[in-house]
Amino acid sequence: MSANYERKIVIVGKTGNGKSSLGNVLLRRRAFDEARSFNAVTKECKVESDEGNVSVVDTPGLFDSDGERSLVMQALEIQKAIKLCPNPHAFLIVLNGSTRLTQEELSTVDVLRIIFGEQCLKKAIIVLTHIENNLDETQLDEMLDENSGMSSLIKLCENRFARIDNREPKPEHIERINRLVDKVSRAGKVRFKNGFLNVHERVFREALKNHDSGPVHEQIKRLSEQILKAVEEEKEFNRKCWKAAGVGAVCVAAGIAYLCNDYIVVCN
């Protein structure tokens, strides 16, 4: 199906799950380097387009297997996807459908929350790769029922999921992904926005300065708490500024002085 808008898509997931391969399938060309092993290939966010119909951002693998980057470093790099492709229509969370999820992968949605904010889940779609084409829908449903971790992640994304065999992608499986992107974006009318991403980035850089480390679930918990606090502080600061701006407007009309953020402003 050809959309009457340019689909803007960010692909995220663990190293080795087939993110780059999926990007190539959606673009219908080899735009991204594909891994031939579980070693990470994508180290930086990269955006590619296909004749104006779709733009795809391939991101570095979460829980990078080379161990060179902490979770915070990965978060900072993956967040660049929004700078390369502002206000995307959808996030595709790539999971290997042929294996059980690791404890780290079970935290994928929580990691996305700290990188992009809660709003991203409204635009999130699970894509199960490495699902062979000869597996019918009934067998797939049975497999998911047996995999409680994967089923839980799918439910967090409001049961939006698709399947694909990256080696021999079937047109109907690609079409399902496109339909889901159209659904979460209301055919391009609604895009992802979060005015506090700069706050998330500030928290990450502070954590990086402090060499934040430890088990992934502990890092996620700390960062979540710090981001929540920082966002609330930012909201409170903005409320005070708007209130001061309102007072200032009255003062301008009256020609008097007012106090704003410890500065005396004289309105002539």
144-189, pLDDT tens digit by residue?
988 888 999 999 999 999 999 989 999 999 999 999 999 999 999 9
The total number of residues shown for the chain amounts to 268
Q: Phi/psi class of residue 234: alpha, beta or left (left: φ > 0; alpha: ψ in -120 to 50)?
A: alpha
In a domain, residue 37? The reply is yes
How does pLDDT run across 55-77, given as a tens digit for each residue?
999 999 888 655 556 899 999 99
If one compares 18 and 99, the residue with the highest pLDDT of the two is: 18
Whether residues 130 and 213 share a domain: the answer is: no
Of 66, 58, 4, nearest to 26 by C-alpha is 58
The structure tokens listed for 136 are 């019918």
Count of domains forming the chain? 2
The per-residue pLDDT for 8 is: 97
Distance CA 50, CA 260 (A): 50
In a domain, residue 137? The reply is yes
| C-beta of residue 53 within 8 angstroms of C-beta of residue 174 | no
The mean pLDDT value for 31-49 works out to 78
The per-residue pLDDT for 65 is: 55
CATH of the domain at 149: 3.40.50.300
> CA–CA distance from 260 to each of 135, 235, 241 (Å)?
65, 16, 8
In a domain, residue 147? The reply is yes
The per-residue pLDDT for 118 is: 93
Whether residues 148 and 204 share a domain: the answer is: no
Whether residues 64 and 108 share a domain: the answer is: yes
Whether residues 160 and 120 share a domain: the answer is: yes
Structural domain including 226 reads 197-266
Residue reference for tokens 């021999």: 168
In a domain, residue 252? The reply is yes
The per-residue pLDDT for 263 is: 32
At 92, which helix (H) or strand (E)?
strand 90-96
